Structure 1
Amino acid sequence: MLRIFNTIDGKVEERRKPEDGSWLCLSDPTDVELTTVSQETGVLLSDLRAPLDDEERSRVDIEDDYTMVIVDIPTVEEREGRDHYETIPLSIIVCGGLIITVCMQDTPVLHPFMEGTIRGFNTYMRYRFILQILYRNATMYLRYLRIIDRKSDNLELKLRHSMQNREILQLLELSKTLLYFTTSLKSNEIVMEKLNTLGKGNGIRHLKRYEEDDDLLQNVIIENTQAIEMANIYSGVLANMTDASASIVSNNLNNVMRIFTIVSIILSVPTLIFSMYGMNFQKGMIGMPFSNSPYGFIIVVVISVVLCVLVTWWLLRSKLFK
């Protein structure tokens, strides 16, 4: 979908045709839309298609007629009733008096710009627009990282009494997400450093850098660095939690096997006694105790119960089963 926006009298308005200072937003674009934008702006079709590949790396490309910045942004989708987090590329292209964003999805990173809720946003200030997108992107990472942290805390509570693999698999999914986040954030950090270097002294063609943009760039770098640190911390916590959960599951299994072992030993005592009497119990049989007594069966049962109680007491006090 292609949408065109312009800042008019401090308000963001959607337009039908691009003008000087317009923002062309391409979300999940069709081939016709990509071809049309390429013909009208002069941007190579291959560059417009670049962010549609989810494996595209973050970078800054400076061409003769335009400058392209590609960063990784976080996204969430529902799978099997749960939110699944991953990263996708977002391309920001500055071409003459236009700025173009291309993404394979309708990302919430850009929604506040469309709604005009970003303070100081102006489609004419293209360098600042790029920084504002990067700042918004870093805050989205931080937001999702906090959600992941809360999810890991809930999983920790479940793992204390769980013997199933479901929680462990969810931990592995979160660890995988954090790995993707960390890699993407570090790639974005390189892009920011390059923007900072090339932006000095109007080093990037097509972009005008204002003095106020320096503070914004530093804030972007700080937010991105904080996101990297949080992702690394949470990754370490999840790694330790995964190891601990495996130990907990193993310990719970050992407790169950301990109970089964005790029960098996206790039941083996009367089984042994009754099996011997079942084969050889005959009235007046020499060598078989209580074979001549009318209360022989009751006496044997009582003895078996007493032995079971003694064995149970010994097993419960034994160090082997503590």
Structure 2
Amino acid sequence: MINAYHSHGSVTVLTAEENPPALAEDIVWLDLVDPTPEEDRHVEQLLGIEIPTRAELKDFEPSSRLYIEKNAVFMTASLVWKADSEAPEITDIAFILTAGKLVTVRYADPKSFKLFTAELCRKPAEAPWVGKMLLARLLETIADRTAEILESAVVHIDELSKEVFRPRSTRRPPQFLENKLADIAAHHRLISKVRDSLGSLSRMLTFLLNVPQIHHHPEIEDLCKTVAHDIATLSEHAGFVSSNIGFLLDASLGLISVEQNAIIKIFSIASVVFLPPTLVASIYGMNFEHMPELSWTIGYPLALFAMVLSAVIPFFFFRWKGWL
């Protein structure tokens, strides 16, 4: 699908079947959403540039993601997609500046694009938009959406931390902490993808700020610098959140080990406590002829008393040492 946005905020849908000789002058943004090969060729004929394919968008070589060709600026950035779901993903999106127009090629629908297009159509600018300004505003929206993802993750991680460090008596046994490991892993996966996206956006903005077309518009250049600063700040914040997740993971594993050790300690102490009575019972269970205690009238209760005493003494000794 090809969404054509006009300079005053209206939008039309272009089809490959229609073959106008040129784009309307007031069209400043062509948003190609999951385009077919026919739609790619249609836009290539209209603008005289080569539209990157899905396979080319996945190329991680910097020279293939950021370059200038035939006065057109080609940039590819990775954005977080499905951040609110259980399986967040990274999607590669191409941003192309050519002939005063912005062209985006994407095979996903990140929420930042929905927010930007809704705002663009609801509150068009007083002055006509241009492609470079649209790109700067779109990057600003992407940065805001990334900040929103991080803020939401911080809230959930804080709640998760409270759950992990709840008193042992209020936890839901017995696999409470083990179940929380899956939640920690999910947040780690999301933050990792956010950091990858921020790194990609940072490289893109560094490249964009060195493009001559941007230097001719101080307002756009200042906005790009602001967004670049926001991206750098978000990267630091994402690193801090990632370290908190690492601490939470280590703490959860440590608490699991503590609980397992506590269980093992109970079994160990129980075995030690019952070992002396077992020894006494084993001795008097021997079938030797000369065992004087066997002929005593009080032999049986005396053996029982010896077994109880041999169990009680280790128990109180462990209590005195603080092992129980």
TM-score calculated relative to the size of structure 2: 0.79
2:35 aligns with: 29
Residues 2 and 56 of structure 1, relative CA distance in 2, 3 Å threshold: farther
In structure 2, the residue matched to 1:4 is: 4
**Contact 2:164/2:180 (8 A) holds in 1:** yes
Q: Residues 165-202 of structure 1: CA distance to partner in whole angstroms, max 9, x if unpaired?
A: 4534543453454344334323322322232232xxxx
The one of 39, 48, 63 aligned to 2:69 = 63
C-alpha RMSD of the superposition: 3.2
Output the amino acid matched with 1:24.
L
Task: Count residues with an aligned counterpart.
Answer: 305
Identical aligned residues as a percent: 21
3-state SS of paired residue (1:69):
strand
Matched, 1:289 2:302: no
Tell me how far apart the structure 1 counterparts of residues 68 and 59 of structure 2 sit (CA, whole Å): 21
Query: In structure 2, do the counterparts of structure 1 residues 34 and 288 end up closer, same or farther at CA, with 3 Å as the change threshold?
Result: farther
Mark the CA change 1:241 to 1:224 in structure 2 (over 3 Å): closer, same or farther. Answer: same
* Whole-angstrom distance in 2 between the partners of 1:31 and 1:44: 12
1:210, CA displacement in angstroms?
3.8
What amino acid maps onto 1:145 in structure 2?
Answer: L
1:14 aligns with 2:27: no
303-312 vs 163-172, which deviates more? 163-172
What residue number does 1:132 align with?
137
- Residues 199-239 of structure 1: CA distance to partner in whole angstroms, max 9, x if unpaired? xxxx22xx795443244223212211221110121122223
Mean alpha-carbon deviation: is it higher for 260-269 or for 86-95? Answer: 86-95
SS of aligned partner of 1:67: strand
C-alpha displacement of 1:51: 6.2
One-letter amino acid matched to 2:134: F
Whether the aligned pair in 2 keeps the contact of 1:12 and 1:114 (CA below 8 Å) is no
- The amino acid that maps onto 2:255 is I
User: Which of 306, 315, 318 is the equivalent residue of 2:318?
Assistant: 315
Where in structure 2 are the equivalents of 1:234-273 lying within 5 Å? Answer: 234-273=241-280
User: Are 1:196 and 2:199 an aligned pair?
Assistant: no
SS in 2 for 1:105: coil
Cα deviation for residue 300 of structure 1 reads 2.7
Correspondence for 1:84: 87
Instruction: Return closer, same or farther for 1:214/1:208 CA change in 2, 3 Å cut-off.
Output: closer
Cα pair distance change 1:116/1:159, threshold 3 Å: closer
> Which among 99, 106, 110 is matched to residue 102 of structure 2?
99
1:5/1:114 contact within 8 Å kept: no
Q: Structure 2 CA distance, aligned partners of 1:74 and 1:24?
A: 21
Write the letter of the residue equivalent to 2:46: E
Return the alpha-carbon distance in structure 1 between the equivalents of residues 71 and 221 of structure 2.
25
Which whole-Å CA distance do the structure 2 matches of 1:223 and 1:120 have between them?
Answer: 24
> Alpha carbons of 1:107 and 1:187: their partners in 2 closer, same or farther (altered >3 Å)?
closer
Query: Counterpart of 2:18?
Result: none
Asked if structure 1 preserves the Cα contact closer than 8 Å seen for 2:34 and 2:106, the reply is yes
User: In terms of mean alpha carbon deviation, does 179-188 or 255-264 score higher?
Assistant: 179-188
Unaligned segments of structure 1, at least 5 residues = none
Q: Specify the alignment match of 2:304 in structure 1.
A: 301
Q: Which residue does 2:228 correspond to in 1? A: 221
Gap runs ≥5 in structure 2: 16-22, 169-174
TM-score (ref. length: structure 1): 0.79
C-alpha change, 1:239 and 1:77, in structure 2 (3 Å) is closer
Q: CA deviation at 1:314?
A: 0.9
Please state whether the residue corresponding to 1:221 is helix, strand or coil: helix
CA contact (8 A) 2:80 2:193 kept: no
